[in-house]
Amino acid sequence: MQIDIIIPHYTGTHFLSDAFKSIIPAISPEDDVKYNIILIVDNCEGKDLKDIPGYTHPTDEENRNDIKKLVAETDFGSHVNVKTVYPSGRQTVASLRNLGLKHASGDYVYFMDSDDYLYPQALSLLAAKARETDADIVHGAMCKSRYKYSTTVSAEPANVSSELVDVLCFYNFTALHMLIKNKPDLVGSFDEKNELYPDLFFTAELIARTDNIVMATDSIYVKRLRNDSIRYPALSQLARSDRKEILLGIYRRLSRNYKKHPVISKALKMITKTNRAKRLSNIKKRIKAFIKKPIFLYRMIEKYIFRRMSMKDNWIVFESFLGKNYSDSCKYIYKYLACTRGPAYRYIWVVNDKNTRIPGRVTKVRYLSLKWFYYTSRARYYVNNMRQPKWMHKREGSTLLETWHGTPLKKLVFDMDDVHSATPSYKMDVYSQSRKWDYLISDNPFSTETFERCFLYPKSKILETGYPRNDILYAEEKDLVAGSIKRELGIAADKKVILYAPTWRDDEYYGPGSYQFALKLDLERLRKELSDEYVILLRTHYFIADAIDTQGMEGFAYNVSRYNDIAELYLISDICITDYSSVFFDFANLKRPILFYVYDFDKYKDELRGFYIDMHTEIPGPLLYTEDELIHAIHNIDSISEEFAVRYDRFYEKFCCKSDGHSSARIANSVFHM
């Protein structure tokens, strides 16, 4: 038996590489089947590709070279042949597949998309079923995934559909994952005029031509949901305003033509029902949200009233961590402006706790309150350290200064392969949000280069000034300030301070912005071992919803998660313990010891995020995997400092090189001209 696997491909060799990797174990070496992969490669040049800062689309030549290399390097085994075809001129998925059909000479044809992948044995199981039944069509089961192919792919999929009518309904009459007997009166061809939905008619016509269809429910195909619709949009993600209309037209025609067909008409009815249910549930959700959350009403008020009022050129809104505190670079830019420009500006601070102490004359507003809408709508300047809400309107002529909240260690946005966090639309969201930033602050040349790539953000708008939030670490009065903070927190002057500030885990969440955290430290044991010399400050990341329990640990462990400004905590800390948080880039400005407590290192590095720098050779302290190692390191902190001295200096040179205590001044002079 010979099976021709037709794969149309356009751009994104990493997708194709995953598909290839999955095909190898999808074929059992014992199969007495010849597989013939027909890869049809479309041209990239001449397509209406978006201009994206920080990213250049590959030329046709580059694309082809990448593919040739991949094909040459992939060892499919002796019973698999690969043929690559490069048609000229503009193609569509339909025309690429039709071309594939022309090259097919085997007993069965099989369509696969280059961005999808297969479960182990998937092809062999289809082939075995075809041999056993001699069916015209052998259809496998399918599921969807947000993640790339991995060798652990045999884990239970979330939503495998195994009935033909289910597959047709949920995968919109897909032409994928079925062996089709290669007879001209059965296979037919794809409608090349139908750019967006080439599968619908092809599959309906195919199914209408034969009753001899069997399911192979143990053979599984994974439809991969792309998370980067900016650089690699799927057909279904291309911005087309006529999409709905086209689809409705096709459904109508199909319903007319196949009114009496038992499977097709049932699948079409299910699609209509599902779409109606989805629309209804969306409307219900909106109504509920409108009633429950005033924010929708506020958005209307902003749109129809505030936006029509004049813009105030001297108003500045500052917002740090969604109004959770008065902190970060926003705080230090504010302090500098208040001191040097005084009443030339009106200062508005977004703080959720109205008792937050902020020196100077400020107007306080809660995050997403009606006042927030009023001031952010009318102010000329908005200084933020996180992403603004994605629906937020930016007025013509206003300035959004994005200070960002750390030098990146963990891979960000477009440098991430899979997105494991609570928001799967992360890449698309960040892209549209960052288009509204007029400036982005960077702490060092490394961040500048990374931000340009990971945000696809123009370098010309990045201000590489160093972080204003670290100015305090270079202030002349820093020891005085430290003394008063220690007193304020009730820490004895003779006690040394350890700050434990871990980050959040992408896969442990309650919902967007609300993450779980379990303290992996035995506080009782730490107290026994360390309390003669040290106290410990425990600080969770601002995304963490779980509270740390320090009951019974008074005088030793302090929960400082709600303390406004972590920079002030750095000032009083003798040792900083973190994991993958960017806090160590800032703390390093003090040249004090840093320990990395990384009990879940492999998972974090390989599965969740990946890092920009080599944690084994570049970071200014040891990687400690267990509590024993951590305690041992604290007892031997002087020898650790000695051991890491050279690496620390190198690290400081690279990442703290722009910090000198005057970053706020540089920002103020570049952005605020009154």
| Chain residues that interact with ligand C2G, rule: CB under 6 A | 405-406, 408, 410, 412, 501-503, 539-541, 566, 581-583
To 10 degrees, what angle do helices 262-292 and 199-209 make?
140
Token pair listed for 66 = 């990448």
| CB 581 to ligand C2G: min, Å | 3
Of residues 526 and 566, the one with the C-beta less far from ligand C2G: 566
CB 141 within 8 A of CB 215: yes
To 10 degrees, what angle do helices 13-26 and 60-73 make?
20
| CB 528 to ligand C2G: min, Å | 25
Of residues 92 and 581, the one with the C-beta less far from ligand C2G: 581
| CB 160 to ligand C2G: min, Å | 33
Which residues, in sequence order, are bridge partners of residue 9?
A: 41
| CA–CA distances in Å: residue 650 to residues 419, 614, 617, 621, 643 | 32, 13, 11, 12, 13
Helix residue spans in 341-390 (DSSP H): 370-378
E-strand stretches of 270-378: 312-319, 346-350, 362-365
Q: Give the span between the Cα atoms of 317 and 313, in whole angstroms.
A: 12
- Tokens 């190692």 found at: 629
Of residues 220 and 412, the one with the C-beta less far from ligand C2G: 412
CB 426 within 8 A of CB 437: no
Identify the three-state secondary structure at position 329.
helix
Of residues 198 and 502, the one with the C-beta less far from ligand C2G: 502
- Tokens 């099989």 found at: 110
| CB 531 to ligand C2G: min, Å | 22
| CB 201 to ligand C2G: min, Å | 46
State the DSSP code for 360.
S
Burial (Cβ within 10 Å: 0-12, 13-18, ≥19) of residue 412: buried
Buried b (16+ CB within 10 A) or exposed e, 202-232: bbbbbbeeeeebbbbbbbbbbbbebbbbbbb
CB 3 within 8 A of CB 36: yes
Of residues 4 and 586, the one with the C-beta less far from ligand C2G: 586
Which residues, in sequence order, are bridge partners of residue 8?
A: 40
Of residues 149 and 570, the one with the C-beta less far from ligand C2G: 570
Of residues 62 and 508, the one with the C-beta less far from ligand C2G: 508
Length of the chain: 674
Of residues 92 and 385, the one with the C-beta less far from ligand C2G: 385
Helix (H) or strand (E) run with residue 141 in it: strand 137-145
Of residues 123 and 569, the one with the C-beta less far from ligand C2G: 569
Of residues 176 and 630, the one with the C-beta less far from ligand C2G: 630
Of residues 209 and 453, the one with the C-beta less far from ligand C2G: 453
| CB 616 to ligand C2G: min, Å | 19
| CB 405 to ligand C2G: min, Å | 4
Identify the three-state secondary structure at position 578.
strand
| CB 438 to ligand C2G: min, Å | 19
End-to-end CA distance of the chain: 79
Of residues 82 and 624, the one with the C-beta less far from ligand C2G: 624
| CB 445 to ligand C2G: min, Å | 15
Q: Give the span between the Cα atoms of 307 and 395, in whole angstroms.
A: 8
Of residues 265 and 559, the one with the C-beta less far from ligand C2G: 559
Burial (Cβ within 10 Å: 0-12, 13-18, ≥19) of residue 381: buried
| CB 412 to ligand C2G: min, Å | 6
Residue 123: CB atoms within 10 Å? 29
| CA–CA distances in Å: residue 349 to residues 332, 337, 366, 379, 389 | 13, 13, 8, 12, 17
| CB 484 to ligand C2G: min, Å | 20
Q: Give the span between the Cα atoms of 100 and 37, in whole angstroms.
A: 10
CB 519 within 8 A of CB 540: no
Give me the DSSP letters along 431-444.
HHHHTT-SEEEESS
Of residues 541 and 654, the one with the C-beta less far from ligand C2G: 541
| CB 394 to ligand C2G: min, Å | 22
Of residues 203 and 329, the one with the C-beta less far from ligand C2G: 329
State the DSSP code for 59.
P
Give me the DSSP letters along 422-469.
S-TTHHHHHHHHHTT-SEEEESSHHHHHHHHHHTT--GGGEEES--GG
| CB 578 to ligand C2G: min, Å | 7
| CB 441 to ligand C2G: min, Å | 11
Token pair listed for 240 = 């087309």
| CB 541 to ligand C2G: min, Å | 4
